[in-house]
Structure 1
Amino acid sequence: MKSPLLCLITGLLLVSTATMAQKDYPTTPPEKSPMPMKPEMTEIWEPQVEVIKPGDKPGEAPSDAIVLFDGKDLDHWVSQKDTTQPSPWKIKDGYFEVIPGTGGIQTKMEFGDVQMHIEWSAPDEIENSGQGRGNSGLFFQNRYELQILDSYNNRTYSNGQAASIYKDQPPLVNAMRSPDRWNTYDVIYTAPRFKKNGDLDTPARITVLHNGVVVQNNATIHGLTLYIGLHNYPEAHGKDVIALQDHGTPVQFRNIWVRKL
């Protein structure tokens, strides 16, 4: 039979051990449930989105556009042969026309990323074939050509027909209208980016709607759109002019505007 004293000592030791265990190994409190999401937690209120006035009709310039040609003058353009001289091309009834042999024209302003609208028409009288029919070009940053060509019933190499990125990307479809009608290009152009050391970071990209039809869908531009040779980005550059090409045929242009992006 255990003595009362021994039982008391044993009990005190058990209580002490249990107390020490509680101090050395505290229990983990239960995790709290995350706060439930509310609709306003994902709403963006600031900064407010800028308000602009869109054109009243399709193709009309919105209020924040830079109108490069409104049918009246070519004040935004200069000769590429001599950039100190005005554009040598003719203005007629609300449009202007290439004068073959005078050289291309370019904007006075420089651009990078842009949204652009331009309307153009090949000569009404069909002459020649292939690259000899209604040939011009729209150059972004004075380097990357969106081809302008009368591709209505006119076979040529696919990456050289209307709405191609010249010698680079053929259009998805041929949406060309007949020579006696006007064509539209609506373009979203993203300029290339370069690293600090001059190497290419991301290439230029372009989306083009030809007469309302998507013909280039965020397509990659692989470099300078050269007539001969593989395309590449030989040097870093920033913003530059938009240019229109004189390729020897009297192509017509009207309603040209851009928005800086």
Structure 2
Amino acid sequence: MNIPTLLLPAALSIGISITAYAQVGVGTKAPKGATVYFDGTQKMRDAKWTYWDGPGRVATLPIKWPMATDPVDGGPVMTSNDPASAGGKYGSADLVTKDTFKDARIHVEFLIPTAGGNSGVYLQNRYEIQVLDGDSTAHGMAAVINEEAAPYSAYNGLGKWNAYDIIFRAARFTNGKLTEQPMVTMYFNGKKVHTNKSISQVWGGPKSGIDGGNDGGKGITDTPGGLKLQAEGHNVMYRNVWIKPLSLTTASTDF
């Protein structure tokens, strides 16, 4: 595994101190205070994840996402091709962390072995960062889905590992009323591709995640959610997933 050397030369100015230098990219290890949610092993997968119990769920425990051997580095990985999602059954077998969060620093690595491979990384089980080979639209690779076009040029391509490094700030509420939209900054393979991008709603309907069926996805609530990985009948591989909870006092996610 290649450990990245990209260092960001300024501290995070977001109301807390995380580290003076934030490392990003493929191979980035969990920093102090973060929890590793997937190290490639079935034991960790089964301990820290479960199926999202949404309206499209078909899969039943135990988790049936296949375990596999990393085609690049030879270590253990899991793949999103759950049998229950065969044929592209949306929301049928998505995995979500048992832990929930609001603000967070998130790292996810994925590899797509065949053309057109499709999955997704859902922040707070609401807001999708797309994983889709071959698509550079606002519904495509690394897009904040339906909000901003894919930064496709940063994609490493088929058969190679890719990394999302994310700071996410959850929506804010006062007396139960939405006062600030959720916000995200993201590096894709070490390149900053989204900066303080606000997210207007949950896209994809009730099968997509929390609040997807609430006022057409615009009815965001204050319920915390886990990190979700989508199964959609494709063989997308995952490894090295970690999350560090944050408490962002200012409306910025830039790092």
Tell me the TM-score normalised to structure 2 length: 0.70
Structure 1 residue ranges without an equivalent (≥5): 1-48, 127-132
Q: Do the aligned residues in 1 keep the contact of 2:66 with 2:82 (CA within 8 Å)?
A: no
Structure 2 residue ranges without an equivalent (≥5): 1-16, 70-75, 85-92, 207-211, 247-255
**Structure 1 CA distance, aligned partners of 2:138 and 2:146?**
5
Corresponding position: 1:97 with 2:84: no
SS at structure 1 position matched to 2:106: strand
Q: Do the aligned residues in 1 keep the contact of 2:136 with 2:152 (CA within 8 Å)?
A: no
Aligned residue runs from structure 1 range 1-261, under 5 A: 59-73=28-42, 74=45, 75-80=47-52, 81=57, 85-93=61-69, 94-102=76-84, 103-123=93-113, 125-126=114-115, 133-150=116-133, 154=134, 156=135, 158-172=137-151, 174-196=153-175, 198-226=176-204, 233-261=218-246
Q: Give the aligned residue type for 2:168.
A: Y
How far does residue 194 in structure 1 lie from its aligned partner after superposition? 1.5
Q: Do the aligned residues in 2 keep the contact of 1:171 with 1:216 (CA within 8 Å)?
A: no
Residue of structure 2 in register with 1:22 after alignment: none
**Structure 1 CA distance, aligned partners of 2:187 and 2:177?**
31
SS at structure 1 position matched to 2:231: coil
Query: Deviation digits for residues 112-162 of structure 1, max 9, x if unmatched?
Result: 111011100112x33xxxxxx111111112111111111xxx3x4611111
Q: Do the aligned residues in 1 keep the contact of 2:67 with 2:77 (CA within 8 Å)?
A: yes
How far does residue 83 in structure 1 lie from its aligned partner after superposition? 9.1
Closer, same or farther in 2 for the Cα pair 1:224/1:58, shift >3 Å?
Answer: same
**Structure 1 CA distance, aligned partners of 2:99 and 2:30?**
18
**Structure 1 CA distance, aligned partners of 2:107 and 2:28?**
7
How far does residue 171 in structure 1 lie from its aligned partner after superposition? 3.7
Query: Deviation digits for residues 143-185 of structure 1, max 9, x if unmatched?
Result: 11111111xxx3x461111110111122455311120111000
Q: Give the aligned residue type for 1:116.
A: I
How far does residue 241 in structure 1 lie from its aligned partner after superposition? 1.6
Q: Do the aligned residues in 2 keep the contact of 1:121 with 1:182 (CA within 8 Å)?
A: yes
Q: Do the aligned residues in 1 keep the contact of 2:81 with 2:232 (CA within 8 Å)?
A: no
Query: What is the aligned-residue identity percentage?
Result: 29
Query: Aligned-pair RMSD on alpha carbons?
Result: 3.0
**Structure 1 CA distance, aligned partners of 2:196 and 2:237?**
27
Q: Give the aligned residue type for 1:90.
A: P
How far does residue 206 in structure 1 lie from its aligned partner after superposition? 0.4
Q: Say which one has the larger Rg.
A: 1
Q: Do the aligned residues in 2 keep the contact of 1:146 with 1:166 (CA within 8 Å)?
A: yes
More RCO (CA 8 Å, sep 6+): 2
For these two proteins, the number of residue pairs brought into alignment is 201
How far does residue 85 in structure 1 lie from its aligned partner after superposition? 2.6
